[in-house]
């Protein structure tokens, strides 16, 4: 029997609440299949840990994680610890150090999920964002000069390497080819005269290897507008770290909300563990009340099953989410229901078992 060793980092706020339901779903899939199992090891890292120890994770945290087959993360960040410390020292550190350079974020309006766009057809909202996840605007390069002086200057550099751009574009082109979909690149080459001009150039260069893929390029401002006015024009989308971050929250908004938006941080070379997480944050406004929607965390668990080669179970879990949405027997308040986080998780497991 295959055993997948998963490092679980529940993190802060609603992180632990939603992850518990994802773990239930993974265990249920494994139990129903019978040929594989999960071994979960929990790490109590995050803001509370920081307040106790002065660190978001121990100094050898990355070495500890390295041996796992995957990481399952809830959310990081909480009032009381500055966000740029909590995120940089845990979530972004893992993405960066484990070279999880591909962030796969589906934006798909599942059956039964609410959409605020009055004219949108369900099948028009079906995209996959491929977000560059290792450099760009998030490279962390810069300086803070003459702090608190009248001459104070801050510099935040965007870092776009040829290697970094080529590999994310190639991943996106390959996905577009394999799925027979169009590829749209998100740019801002009219204003960002180095980074985004280079981005556009690499998009064209790599495109020569994929003459069969239909491509489009949109400026990020127009892309935001079209995602609302004409979402059907997007299929596979490749974007830089920051643009991908922003557009996928917009994507969440048009496809059921933050409680339904999943993401996979992949190290495609499989040299390091990949990390699966809902894209939402710790939601301090609703944390601790058992009312967070766990479906984003469950969807990212389905991405984990895909990643381990159990696409059949990945699909079944996603379809169980869809059945839970359409059946509406247990939905959290963000989806208009009154169920608790755990009741939604139980409903997904019930559906998974019933579909057997």
| From the list Mn ion, ligand NAD, ligand IPM, none, partner contacted by residue 32 (C-beta under 5 to 8 A by kind) | none
Residues between 170 and 189 that touch ligand NAD (CB under 6 A)? none
Cα separation, 57 vs 93, in Å, equals 10
323-347: b (≥16 Cβ within 10 Å) or e: bbbeeeebbbebbebebbbebbbbb
The entry of Mn ion, ligand IPM, ligand NAD, none near residue 135 (CB within 5 to 8 angstroms by kind) is: none
* Beta carbon of residue 276, minimum distance to ligand IPM (angstroms, whole number): 12
State the Cα angle at 28 between 23 and 33, rounded to 5°: 130
Residues 163, 259: Cα–Cα separation, whole Å: 34
Phi/psi class of residue 80: alpha, beta or left (left: φ > 0; alpha: ψ in -120 to 50)? Answer: left
| 280 is a contact residue toward ligand NAD (CB under 6 A) | yes
Tokens of 8: 């679980």
Q: Of 53-61, 87-95, 147-155, 201-209, which part binds ligand IPM (CB under 6 A)? A: 87-95
Q: Binder to ligand IPM among 12, 21, 135, 245 (CB under 6 A)?
A: 245
CB 48 within 8 A of CB 77: no
Output 346-352 pairs: Cβ under 8 A, ≥24 positions apart: 346/24, 348/21, 348/24, 348/25, 348/295, 348/298, 348/317, 348/320, 348/321, 348/324, 349/24, 349/25, 349/28, 351/320, 351/323, 351/324, 351/327, 352/25, 352/28, 352/29, 352/32, 352/316, 352/317, 352/320
Shorter beta-carbon distance to ligand IPM: residue 38 or 299: 299
* Contacted entry of ligand IPM, Mn ion, ligand NAD, none for residue 99, CB cut-off 5 to 8 Å set by kind: none
292 binds ligand NAD (CB under 6 A): yes
Show contacts with ligand NAD in window 235-274 (CB under 6 A).
258-259
Closer residue to ligand NAD, CB minimum distance, 18 or 26: 18
The least distance separating ligand IPM from the CB of residue 150, rounded to whole angstroms, comes to 31
Pick between residue 263 and residue 340 the one whose CB is nearest to ligand IPM: 263
Q: Report which secondary-structure segment, H or E, holds 123.
A: none
Which residues of this chain interact with Mn ion, rule CB under 5 A? 245
- Which of 83, 311 has the CB closer to ligand NAD? 83
CA separation for the pair 256, 193 (Å, rounded): 36
Give the gyration radius of the chain's Cα atoms: 20
Identified binder of ligand IPM from the candidate list 279, 287, 339, 349, rule CB under 6 A:
279
Which is nearer to ligand NAD, 91 or 128 (by Cβ)? 91
Mark the segment that binds ligand IPM (CB under 6 A) among 84-92, 140-148, 171-179, 318-326.
84-92
Which is closer to Mn ion, CB of 91 or CB of 318?
91
With CB under 5 to 8 Å by kind, the binding choice for 94 among Mn ion, ligand IPM, ligand NAD, none is none
What gap in Å lies between CA 54 and CA 342, rounded to an integer?
Answer: 32
Beta-carbon contacts of 237 under 8 Å, excluding residues fewer than 6 positions away, are 127, 128, 129, 130, 172, 183, 184, 185, 186, 247
Which residue from 32, 85, 87, 192 is in contact with ligand IPM, where contact means CB under 6 A? 87
Cα atoms found within 13 Å of the Cα of residue 158, Cβ hemisphere only: 19
> Least distance to ligand IPM from the beta carbon of 279, Å?
5
Which residue's Cβ has the minimum distance to Mn ion? Answer: 245
For the bound state, the minimum distance from the C-beta of residue 27 to Mn ion, rounded and expressed in Å, comes to: 28
Distance (Å, whole) CA 323 – CA 352? 9
Applying the rule CB under 6 A, the residues between 64 and 83 that interact with ligand IPM are 77
Residues that bind ligand IPM (CB under 6 A): 77, 87, 91-92, 245, 279, 281
Residues that bind ligand NAD (CB under 6 A): 14, 18, 75-78, 83, 87, 91, 258-259, 277, 280-286, 292-293, 296, 334
């Amino acid at each position: 029997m295959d055993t997948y060793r998963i490092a679980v980092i529940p993190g802060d706020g609603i992180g632990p609440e939603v992850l518990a339901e994802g773990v239930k779903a993974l265990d249920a899939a494994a139990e129903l299949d019978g040929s594989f199992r999960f071994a979960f090891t929990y790490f109590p890292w995050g803001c509370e840990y920081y307040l106790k120890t002065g660190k978001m994770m121990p100094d050898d945290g990355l070495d500890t994680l390295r041996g796992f087959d995957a990481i399952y993360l809830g959310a990081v960040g909480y009032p009381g610890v500055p966000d740029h410390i909590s995120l940089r020292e845990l979530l972004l550190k893992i993405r960066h150090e484990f070279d999880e350079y591909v962030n796969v974020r589906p934006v798909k309006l599942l059956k039964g999920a609410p959409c605020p766009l009055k004219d949108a057809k369900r099948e028009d909202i079906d995209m996959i964002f491929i977000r560059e996840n290792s450099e760009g605007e998030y490279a962390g390069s810069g300086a803070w000069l003459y702090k608190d002086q009248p001459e104070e200057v801050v510099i935040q550099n965007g870092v776009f390497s040829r290697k970094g751009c080529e590999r994310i574009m190639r991943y996106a082109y390959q996905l577009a080819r394999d799925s027979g979909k169009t590829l749209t690149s998100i740019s801002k080459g009219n204003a960002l005269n180095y980074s985004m001009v280079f981005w556009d150039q690499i998009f064209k260069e790599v495109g020569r290897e994929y003459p069969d893929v239909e491509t489009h390029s949109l400026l990020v401002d127009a892309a935001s507008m079209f995602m609302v006015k004409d979402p059907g024009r997007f299929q596979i989308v490749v974007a830089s770290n920051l643009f991908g971050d922003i557009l996928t929250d917009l994507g969440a908004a048009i496809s059921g909300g933050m409680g339904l938006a999943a993401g996979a941080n992949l190290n495609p070379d499989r040299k390091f563990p990949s990390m699966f997480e809902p894209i939402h944050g710790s939601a301090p406004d609703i944390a601790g009340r058992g009312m967070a929607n766990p479906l984003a965390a469950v969807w990212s668990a389905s991405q984990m099953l895909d990643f381990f080669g159990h696409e059949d179970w990945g699909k079944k879990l996603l379809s169980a989410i869809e059945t839970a949405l359409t059946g509406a027997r247990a939905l959290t308040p963000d989806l208009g229901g009154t169920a608790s986080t755990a009741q939604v998780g139980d409903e997904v497991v019930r559906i998974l078992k019933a579909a057997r």
